[in-house]
Each structure stands twice: as structure tokens, then as C-alpha cells.
Structure 1
Amino acid sequence: MAIEGPLRELGIHDVFQLLDLSRKTGTLRVYSPEKNNEGSVYFDAGTIVAATMKSNPHLLGTILERSGKATPADLARATAMQRAGDKRRVGEILVAHGIVTPRDIDRFMRQQIETVVFDLMSWSEGFFSFTEEPPRPIRKDIAVRVSTESLLMEGARRIDEWSLMADKIPDARVIPLLATLDDGPESFIDLLPREWEVLSIIDGERNLHEIAKRLVLPEFEVAKIIYGMLSTGLIDISLQGT
């Protein structure tokens, strides 16, 4: 049975809660014409087991590479095996070859799921559809099951936190600009590695969404970093198209 409709009639939080309480198994697809984006979330008896996003897929391989757990060569070999007919997922292949452990896969797949789901929870317009399907086959030792209820609670907290930043960062279309520093004594800039990553690609053209996509980071995390830099006068903000 398909469950579908516009998000303006049934909010995304209510959709997730419905699928959780009714212990549904299948695929939820959410499409936003305004964002020109689409996300898919896979459920097994109401629990989330996988999630993908069209514009910023947060691919497991990319996450593993950024974390230093797998090299580009490792990922290339795994994808070559898939092209040659191997039906296993990249994570399964890497575990089988001893590149990563099942525990690594569990941690990073949870990160992947959380990032996509939290992005979707910020959507207030668009359309959703849920189609009941058989559970996705996957090795039990690297299967991930994330509580929908816990994600709903954390998602609500993040939305509240973003609302506190909304006066300066209303959405992911804002464009950060390097601030013009006043003449005077040189000052020391003390930033964390992730903050330096964000600062290094601020060019006055990329918006927040594009920066997050380039760095394979959640928009929420990038927004918090940009808000902090904005508060210290390190950067300015321009609205898209202004």
C-alpha cells in the first residue's frame, strides 16, 4: 500500500512517526521542487536501515575516505568488483578484504543515515511517497538499524538550534564572504581543523549548500561553523541573488 501526499498537509516529522509507529517496511521518497532535491529512506519494521540524498548523497565510500579508513585505491578496487558483477555493497567488500571492520561500517553508516534524515527533517514543502517493499538483503554483521524515534528527537533539537541562527542564516542559500579586516595589528586566528576546511573554500560564490556538498558535510554542521565565524567578524553573509 502506498502512502503519499504533500508535506504541507502531513509534515515530514509526522510521516516518520507514522512509519515508526506502524512498523512499516519499505522505502520513503521525499521530493522538493523548490530545492530540486530528493531523498530516500529505507525502513525495516519502522526502523531506519539506510538513507540517500540525490544532491549530496553522503556516500559511504566518500565518508570512509575522508575519515582515513579507506584509500581512493581501496574504493576503486571495490567499485571495480561491483562493475565486474559483485553484488555486494562497497562496505561489505571492504570488510571482506580487511580494509575496515564491521564496527567502522556501523559507525559511518549511522553517520550517513543521520545526515540524510536530518536534512530531510528541515524540509517544509514538497511531496512524499512510501512504498511497502521486502527488507533489503544485507550481511547481519554489518547491518545497521537506527531508531526512528531517537532521530526524530535529535532532528527536533537541531531545528530548534537552527531557528536560533535564522536571523543571520535563514537557509542554505546564503553565501558566506570573507570579511574585510580593519587595518591594525595582526591578530591570531584560532580555528579547529573542520573550521579551517570550511574557511578555505569560502570564495564569495559558493552558498552554504554548495560548501556542504563540496566538503561532504551536513548542512547543519556547516551552518554552525559559518554562524560562529560570522559572530566573530571573520566572514560576512550575502543572500542568494542579492
Structure 2
Amino acid sequence: MAFQGSLAELHLPDIIQLISVSGKTGVFHLTSGALAGEIYLSDGKIVHAQLDDVSGEEAVYALAMWSQGDFRFDPGVSTELRTISKSNTNLLMEAARRLDEWRVLSKKIPSTDLVPEFVV
């Protein structure tokens, strides 16, 4: 039976911890607007992630930054791909660190649409 919800209500790191503690194997399908990604767990451990052409740890870090979108966990789905060797704890701690850095930087940047210019 699939487990699904909104990333606005449940943050991805919290959901991953919940599922991984139970030792489940399966895949998280994540969508946010036109973007879609996947995170695979094997016996509760994150073993592979994909977001467009980015895979592995960097895909986990990018997906963990999403605050809007939807998720669905399909148990029993596995993959032969093994692009991640770090523990879930280390992955989620690094994702939290990057999110904290982004929050600090985003307060100093007036708009992500601006392009800086060097004045000589």
C-alpha cells in the first residue's frame, strides 16, 4: 500500500526517517511543479536518487530542499542502481546544513532572477 502526502505538510527528511526506521524497501516518487525525482531505499537505507540528470547524493540534497510538492512511497520497489554509499544520517545532516546555508543566503539576495555584473 502506497503512502503519500504533501511536502508542505510533511518534510522529506522526516518522511525518510520514518520509513527508514521501519527497514522498508521501496521508492519515493516526488513532484514539484514540472520537476520529478525518485529516492530508492533498500532495507531502510537510501541507495539511489535521481532528479532529472542529477543522481546520487546531489539528487538527495536537491530533493530535500523542496518545501512544496507531493510525495508517494511505493513499498517493495527496488533498483539495482547503487549511487549512494553514505548513511541516511550523514545524508540528511548534509541536506539540513545546505538548507540552512540557503536560507541565510536567500535573505541577502533580493531576487534569484538578478544576474551579477562585474564593474571594472
- Give the TM-score category using the shorter length: 0.7 to 0.9
Alpha-carbon deviations, 1:42-63, whole Å to 9, x = none?
Answer: 1101111111112xx12xxxxx
Q: Secondary structure at the match of 2:50?
A: strand
Distance 2:64 2:110 in 1: 15
Distance 1:170 1:133 in 2: 44
Q: Is residue 47 from structure 1 mapped to residue 45 from structure 2 by the alignment? A: yes
Structure 2 CA distance for partners of 1:179 and 1:6, relative to 1, 3 Å: same
1:161 to 93, 101, 113: 101
List aligned pairs for 1:79-228, cutoff 5 A.
112-137=55-80, 144-169=84-109, 173-181=112-120
With normalisation by structure 1, the TM-score equals: 0.45
Q: Secondary structure at the match of 1:8?
A: coil
Distance 1:134 1:40 in 2: 11
Letter aligned with residue 137 of structure 1 = E
Alpha-carbon deviations, 1:63-113, whole Å to 9, x = none?
Answer: xxxxxxxxxxxxxxxxxxxxxxxxxxxxxxxxxxxxxxxxxxxxxxxxx41
Q: How far did 1:145 drift?
A: 3.7
Gaps of 5+ in 1: 59-111, 182-242
With normalisation by structure 2, the TM-score equals: 0.85
Contact 1:20-1:149 at 8 Å conserved across structures: no
Q: How far did 1:170 drift?
A: 6.8
Q: Percent identity?
A: 35
Contact 1:27-1:130 at 8 Å conserved across structures: yes
Letter aligned with residue 56 of structure 2 = I
| Structure (1/2) with the larger helix percentage | 1
Structure 2 CA distance for partners of 1:114 and 1:170, relative to 1, 3 Å: farther
Q: Secondary structure at the match of 2:90?
A: helix
Per chain length, whose mean CA-contact separation is higher, i.e. which structure has more relative contact order (CA < 8 Å, sep 6+)? 2
Q: How far did 1:137 drift?
A: 3.5
Q: Secondary structure at the match of 2:66?
A: coil
Gaps of 5+ in 2: none
| Structure (1/2) with the larger strand percentage | 2
